[in-house]
Amino acid sequence: MRWTPGDRSNIEDARGASGGIGGVHLGIGGLLVLLVLSWATGTNFFALLGGGNASSSGAVGTSGQVQSTPQEEKTIDFVDAVMNDVQRTWQDLLGDRYRPTRVVIFRDSLSSGCGMAQAATGPFYCPEDSLVYLDVGFFRELADRFGAPGDFAQAYVVAHEVGHHVQHLLGMSGPSVAMELQADCFAGVWGHAASQQGRAERGEVQLDPGDAEEGLNAAAAIGDDRLQRMATGHVQPEKFTHGSSAQRVAAFTRGLDSGRPAACQSTPATTR
């Protein structure tokens, strides 16, 4: 991918806040293991930490000086550039109906309008405050634990969360799996726009050959069936929340090939 750093106007930097769950501080790897196990089995493994419901763990902590690395700062610049480009695409598609959002970058845990934002939950969109939440270490886990490296794999995740923002703005609702697959399709719509030639010369994000495959790999890597198989060794379709790997790849491909939000309506969802 080709991209140009911006002014971080799409970012809320909350890395100076620190916290844990139930008084226990876990690394992102440990939190992701608990998430996958809880998600796949229906058992609240967070309760074992002594905090009961993970979303009621109390105060996050105190703000402090941010310690970072050049690579981490580059990642935040990248997220800002992708957010700026994704939002510009939706502004072009929706006009006045689109209202910008931002990504809140945090470490470990942070209070959000939807309760506790935790590294274990992965990136998510909160409709209560219209913000995207992203733990700073997630992309490393995406590459190392789930086998989905590459900058467009990361961009796909960001574009997916903005897809949920679009759903919120348009008043869309439906079953969880249908909404997640539609957000994958919406991410593909942006990917289609970003694949057009001449964008880099205008300072916009532009895909390079092979980038689309990274997005498809990421979609496949975080399918419910694969996550469940990693956690328990078997698949329970009745507990799917995001769709299977094949479903996620198909939804993303639909948006990527068409570049039209209307093509994403074939993923079941209703407008209230």
pLDDT one-digit tens code per residue, 226-246: 677 777 887 888 878 788 888
Q: 176, 267 in Cβ contact below 8 A?
A: no
Low-confidence ranges of the chain (pLDDT < 50): 18, 20-31, 44, 46-63, 268-272
Per DSSP, the three-state class of 22 is: coil
DSSP state of 65: P
Q: 246, 266 in Cβ contact below 8 A?
A: no
Q: What was the pLDDT predicted at 33?
A: 55
Q: What was the pLDDT predicted at 272?
A: 35
Per DSSP, the three-state class of 86 is: helix
Question: Which of these, 183, 231, 187, 196, lies nearest to 39 by C-alpha position?
Answer: 231
- Please tell me the distance from the alpha carbon of residue 83 to that of residue 240, in angstroms, as a whole number: 28
Q: How is the chain split into domains, by residue range?
A: 11-271
Q: What was the pLDDT predicted at 28?
A: 41
Q: What was the pLDDT predicted at 231?
A: 76
**H-helix or E-strand containing 134?**
strand 131-135
- Please tell me the distance from the alpha carbon of residue 133 to that of residue 14, in angstroms, as a whole number: 10
Q: What was the pLDDT predicted at 146?
A: 67
Q: 184, 178 in Cβ contact below 8 A?
A: no
Question: Which of these, 28, 9, 229, 208, lies nearest to 117 by C-alpha position?
Answer: 28
**H-helix or E-strand containing 125?**
strand 124-126
Q: What was the pLDDT predicted at 58?
A: 30
DSSP state of 213: H
Per DSSP, the three-state class of 117 is: strand
Q: What was the pLDDT predicted at 32?
A: 55
- Please tell me the distance from the alpha carbon of residue 227 to that of residue 237, in angstroms, as a whole number: 12
- Please tell me the distance from the alpha carbon of residue 153 to that of residue 150, in angstroms, as a whole number: 5
Cβ neighbours for 250, distance < 8 A, ≥ 6 positions apart: none
DSSP state of 21: B
Q: 117, 104 in Cβ contact below 8 A?
A: yes
Q: What was the pLDDT predicted at 35?
A: 58
